[in-house]
Structure 1
Amino acid sequence: MLRELGFTDDEIISVALKFSINPQLEKPFGHWEILSPALTEVLGIEVDTRPKIIGVIWHYVKARKLQNPSDPSFFHCDQPLQKVFGKDKMKFTMVSQKISHHLFPPQPVLWEHKIKLLGNCPTGTACYDVTVDVPFPIQRKLSVLLANVEKNKEIELCDESICGIIRKIYEHCRRRAFFLSFSQSHVDFINAMIESQSRDLKLAAGEPSRNTEKEHRSDFYNQPWVEDVVIRHLNCKSASGSDALGST
């Protein structure tokens, strides 16, 4: 080719090569995105990948305690977030879809580098700053959180159903014991009930009715009213335990 241009084999020439590099703007963890002015104002970044942008939004919500305590899958939108999402509250799973309107593909970056083959330091010296991404752990935590939120809601519904069934079982047991005692001995059952209600009335009125001497004897706990009292106590205890389980 040099001969075609008129150069001989013994002639020394200087050649400058020009490279134009247009890299694909793709990172190991997603494509670069340019943020809209509204989203840039909230997050303080102009260009980044979608997973990292979602992670920064999660940090923003967490730092300002905007997550809904009654339903962790939602978060409240303050005034800057309302400019972005246009809503008072937002579901975490919808963030990726909603920010699509605020993300735009960046323009290609043109990188030129000239290589000299002759002269002082023909290879040349160049120094470039290259941004290197590292794994973003908050994104994995956020994905696990969003997956667990849906599972937790299903677990809570199952817990509520189980607690309701347990309460019904104890209620049926109490009624069964009530009618069984009544069927076995009508008179003793009614007398025991009257005695129990009389004792409760005295306690409510503040009258002393306890006989500690009788309570120390075993025959005191063999009376017909004891079974009814025990069932009432267990029923109240199980009901309070079920309420506590349902509230967790």
Structure 2
Amino acid sequence: VEESKLYQELLEMERKLDWVIARKRLDLQDASNKPGKTTRTLRVFLSTTVSNQTWQIADPDSLGQDTDFTSLSPPAWTLRIEGRLLDPPSRHAARGSKKFTHYLRSLVVELDRDASFTEGNIVEWHRQAQPQGPEAEQDGFEIKRLGDSTVKCKIILDIAHSPPRHKVSPELAAVIGIQEGNLQSIQNMFWTYIRQNGLQEKGDRRKIRPDAALKPLITQAMGPRDNFMFHEIPTFINMYLAPADPVVIPYIVRMDSSTVGELKAFDIEIDIDDFASRSRVRDVITALSPETAQQIAQLDDEISLSVVSVRNSKVKRDFLESFARDPAHFIERWLASQARDLETVMGHENGMRGDLRRSDNFQLPWVEEAVVVHEGIRV
């Protein structure tokens, strides 16, 4: 039957599809436990406010009409450092924006002014190993100092990339073509260099034979050798990695009225966990829930019942077609088959024991006819 061939092809396709879905589902479950990575923009805002400066005292309106000039404090200034993560292009992908310090490991401000000031010229903040309480994270910092003159400063931000970024030594960077990145991207670039230059030994693919550019680095890290093993790649790469350089922002604290309150912004690209992709993966897994699997199983049962019905209909059709083609011969064979079955049931073998011992006896036409008759009666 032509349709049965198509059905078998559909069954084969279904088996392949089930295998692919099962494999992808395992991949999705693994991915849901490992959020993807994405690059976002951290915008840092710098501003300065001043108090009791000469130009403010000369202009009483800037201090207020009721100011007592005899009790004024010394001139001072305040540097504000704030930051926030910019929303992605699709706002619905954003999830719970973290505070500024969540994206920092440390912040250092170096003030370029006379060391005779009693206040320190270096201000540092370092993230605690286990921050606790609402003060654990904050949106910014304020640095207050006395003074009425321009101050140059450097703001040094150690970004908490996820995963952490590393700086590649100049020697290795010149070979593999990457100067900074996370560990996985650096290892991928190193492996790409090996494959593109055919450095794997043909006899043993686990062994890598360094070329002229790579051999001095291998010798320096592992000693003189003609090759190294595949599993030694991470150890070798780690010897040429260092923490990524911090972001340094130069800034000038000015006291003149024209620049006070001016807001400056600096954008920093950072790597963070992509929780939006994790949410999408979980939505896909939810779509493949047990309820859906139960519906699929129910449809499979319905298909199986339909197949049984088709098979029974075919048996009945073969039975009637054989009878219509040669009624006399069909009845003779049918009676012989019935007599044979009756003798077997009644225990009158009459020499049939030898026939029953031969396997080819059950490959004769009477077996198929008996099955057809039985199925026809049952239907």
Structure 1 length as normaliser, TM-score?
Answer: 0.41
The structure number with the bigger radius of gyration is 2
Higher-strand-fraction structure: 2
The normalised TM-score by structure 2 is: 0.28
Judging by fraction of residues, say which structure has more helix: 1
